[in-house]
Chain A
Amino acid sequence: MSDYFLTQVLNYGAPLFALTLFLGAVGLPVGASLMVIAVGAFSQQGYFDWVMMAAVGLLGALLGDSLSFGMGHYGKDWVRAHLSSSPAWSNALAQFNNRAWAAVFFTRFLITALAIPTNLIAGGSGYPFRRFMLYDLLGEATWILLYGGLGYLFGSQWEVVNEFMSNFGGLLLGVVVLIFGVRQAVVRQTKK
């Protein structure tokens, strides 16, 4: 799928790039991070104007995040009806409310696997949309500049950069899961 989108980005440039980041932000597996790194590399090779690509890509990502936030917002009644009694859901909400800004900001570029759940939780928990957009904008801009910048810097080695970054994201996800699990287990042990 990523190969197909890479070819189309070469053909149609900025609009297709924005569409790919939009689809990635609503949860479709289009390889959005790979695309940002690749576009950075293609810009270094003089094939694209990086300023234009970054601006249009950012717009696509923000629109996609708004849509997944909206899905959480409009689906919150259903979620309340089905999950309000679940301790895991209450726990996720409590964790999110504790550090909502950090959750939104860091899941844009560091632990990207958690970006969609974060958007849905933010929308479903009644988190203010404007504040969400502020941290979303900062996070997505960091993502595009950091990943695109690495692609630009490493040029034709962009596929190795992508391999490194995607696995690094998985590594950080493991660290977060481990810290969360150990903390919760210790809390429960102390309560006992």
Chain B
Amino acid sequence: MQGNSKSRILFIALSVFGLILILFFGMRVLRAFKKFDRQHPPPFAGELQTDVEAIEEWMTIPFISHNYGVPPDVLFDALGIEPKDKDNFKKSLEQLNEEYFPDADGYVLTTVKATILAHQPPPTPILPQNTP
């Protein structure tokens, strides 16, 4: 009888825990859902990425180069790093920063973003349909 009552308390505690999980993750699901509205629409397959804010420190130069259509040599030149040296193609921006610019936190990320902005093709102007 006492065992039954003990396990009942245990299952009530479990239910309360379930409720806490629902509230906690429910709020986070809503917050994530709202973020979809605030983001720029993703580029269509085959289109180049243009939003430099999407560049992150775990990315490699060849990956960024592929997505933004800027040759890797241009990015390495801007950083003043030899591409072939020490297998730099395989290093993340964070690793490159730690190795070459240990005293300038975030330098590689900022330089890569600025270089991409400077080398991106200008957007094609959209002309009105009924232009005389």
Q: Which 3 residue pairs of A and B lie closest in terms of their CB atoms, listed nearest first?
A: A174-B21, A178-B18, A155-B42
Q: CB-nearest residue of chain A relative to B92?
A: A7
In the assembled complex, 8 residue pairs joining A and B whose CB atoms fall closer than 8 Å, in A order, are A7-B60, A156-B43, A160-B32, A174-B18, A178-B22, A181-B11, A181-B13, A185-B11
Give the complex CA separation of A173 and B21 in angstroms: 8
Given known pairs A7-B60, A44-B45, the reply for A156 and B51 (CB within 8 Å) is yes
Q: Which of A116-124, A126-134, A162-170 contacts B (4 or more CB under 8 A)?
A: A162-170
Chain B's nearest CB lies how many Å from the CB of A134?
30
Q: With a CB–CB cut-off of 8 A, which chain B residues contact A192?
A: 1, 4-5, 8
List which B42-73 residues lie within 8 A (CB) of chain A: 42-43, 45-46, 49, 51, 54, 57-60, 62-63, 66-67
Q: With a CB–CB cut-off of 8 A, which chain B residues contact A44?
A: 42, 45
Give the complex CA separation of A4 and B95 in angstroms: 10
Task: Answer yes or no: A188 CB below 8 A from chain B CBs.
Answer: yes
Question: Once the chains bind, are A181 and B18 in contact (CB under 8 Å)?
Answer: yes
Secondary structure class of chain A's binding surface, majority of residues: helix
Give the complex CA separation of A42 and B42 in angstroms: 12
Task: Answer yes or no: B15 CB below 8 A from chain A CBs.
Answer: yes
Give the complex CA separation of A184 and B94 in angstroms: 51
Chain A residues in contact with chain B, CB under 8 A? Answer: 3-4, 6-7, 10-11, 42, 44-47, 87, 154-157, 160, 163-164, 167-171, 173-182, 184-185, 188-189, 191-192
Task: Answer yes or no: B119 CB below 8 A from chain A CBs.
Answer: no
Chain B's nearest CB lies how many Å from the CB of A10?
5
Question: Once the chains bind, are B58 and A3 in contact (CB under 8 Å)?
Answer: yes
Chain A's nearest CB lies how many Å from the CB of B108?
13
Q: Which of B23-31, B77-85, B122-130 contacts A (4 or more CB under 8 A)?
A: B23-31
Q: Which of B33-41, B98-106, B109-117 contacts A (4 or more CB under 8 A)?
A: B33-41
Q: CB-nearest residue of chain B relative to A91?
A: B7
Given known pairs A154-B42, A167-B25, A178-B18, the reply for A188 and B7 (CB within 8 Å) is yes
Question: Once the chains bind, are A188 and B8 in contact (CB under 8 Å)?
Answer: yes
Partner of A174, one of B5, B7, B19: B19
Interface centre among B18, B45, B59 (most CB of A within 10 A): B18
Q: CB-nearest residue of chain B relative to A188?
A: B8
Question: Once the chains bind, are B32 and A167 in contact (CB under 8 Å)?
Answer: yes
Task: Answer yes or no: B14 CB below 8 A from chain A CBs.
Answer: yes
Question: Once the chains bind, are B25 and A168 in contact (CB under 8 Å)?
Answer: yes
Chain A's nearest CB lies how many Å from the CB of B48?
9
Question: Once the chains bind, are A155 and B43 in contact (CB under 8 Å)?
Answer: yes
Task: Answer yes or no: B20 CB below 8 A from chain A CBs.
Answer: yes
Question: Once the chains bind, are B18 and A175 in contact (CB under 8 Å)?
Answer: yes
Give the complex CA separation of A12 and B87 in angstroms: 13
Q: CB-nearest residue of chain B relative to A182?
A: B15
Q: CB-nearest residue of chain A relative to B87?
A: A11
Question: Once the chains bind, are B14 and A177 in contact (CB under 8 Å)?
Answer: yes
Partner of B25, one of A42, A157, A170, A181: A170
